[in-house]
Chain A
Amino acid sequence: MSPRSRTIFFLGFAAIGFGVLVYAVQGLPQFGTFSGAYSSFLLSTGTMARSIENIATAVNFDYRGFDTMGEEYIFFTSVTGVLFMLSGLRGRAVQHEERNETAQTRGQSGAIRMIATGAAGFVAANGIYVAAHTTATPGGGFQGGAVFGSAFAFIYLGVGYAAFMTTAKREIFDAFEAFGAGCYVLLGVATAFAAGAFLKNSLYTGQSGAIVSGGLVYLINAAVFIEIACGFVVLLSVFIHQTRQVQESEE
């Protein structure tokens, strides 16, 4: 097939696809006015029944708690896969000789180090804040965990590779990641025995709007925060470690 006929072929199907898309958009409900039976039910009963102001959290960790467990294990499996793939490379790779990493050799000013270190602390605290207020304000374990994990990138960018590797000890964070992931299932099994159904929220849900409220949801949220935060750090450390390796020539 010549490039010219291929282009014509593509444009024909692109036009058809665009037409179908326009037709489908015509049938959508007006912008901002969607009202499904399920969403209005959750909005009217979620806060009353579970003491959770943030309905997105209530859906994620309570009404759709089982689905979220699956999603959490997608993340867990991805991190494990990355670890396996890149750890395999480590055997064949040779370490660069450690560069003498001082502020002078990197051409780095003290201000950069200071701002980056401060930003790391601020971002990590913000991540914990977002995760801790999951039932009261927007955000939650996943968002907070991702923010917390990103804080470690500041250490690499501002202070350097050696400092990053000392802070983000992979073995420790890997263990905590597995701990967070396991806690989710253990909570489910525990409630199955204690309350009769997997992930049934039968704990005292507290006062709506309080930081700690929502009963089981708050515990699940904590488990997810630990898993995502530590998984993020593991991913960062694996990828950043790769920048310091060269593969042996394979020819």
Chain B
Amino acid sequence: MSLLEFVLFLAVAVVGGAVVFSKRPVNQLFIYSMYGGVLTLLFFVLHAPDVALSELTVGTLAVPLMVLVALMKTADKL
């Protein structure tokens, strides 16, 4: 395992933990988006550029956007 892979694995673990332990949903959403970015880099380094592309669009854009809309809808009920 190269140094780059090691650093990225570590980053995925740290950012993934941050997603779980963040309290406010809005903060959590943006950390989740970062998590998608780190995961994209990891997939790319592990020679899976097609998976990286899917993760980039779904993990950093589509899911956060939809959750954001859901939060907007429910914000007054929280």
Contacts and interface: CB of A to CB of B under 8 A. Distances in A.
B57 A242 contact: no
Q: Which of A140, A147, A153, A239 has the most CB of B within 10 A?
A: A239
B53 interface: yes
B61 A143 contact: no
A146 B54 contact: yes
B7 to A, nearest CB: 15
Contacts of A130: 53
B50 A138 contact: yes
**Interface size range of chain B in the complex:** 10 to 19
A11 B48 CA distance: 36
Name A's interface SS. helix
A140 B54 CA distance: 10
Interface in A134-186: 138-140, 142-143, 146-147, 149-150, 153
A114 to B, nearest CB: 21
Interface stretch (B15-23, B24-32, B65-73): B65-73
A147 B49 contact: no
A145 B22 CA distance: 32
Interface of A: 31, 54, 56, 130, 138-140, 142-143, 146-147, 149-150, 153, 232, 235-236, 239-240, 242-243
20 contacts: A31-B1, A138-B48, A138-B49, A138-B53, A139-B50, A143-B50, A143-B53, A143-B57, A146-B58, A146-B62, A153-B65, A235-B62, A236-B65, A239-B65, A239-B66, A239-B69, A240-B69, A242-B69, A243-B69, A243-B73
Closest A-B pairs by Cβ, 8 of them = A138-B49, A146-B57, A138-B50, A143-B53, A239-B69, A150-B61, A150-B57, A139-B50
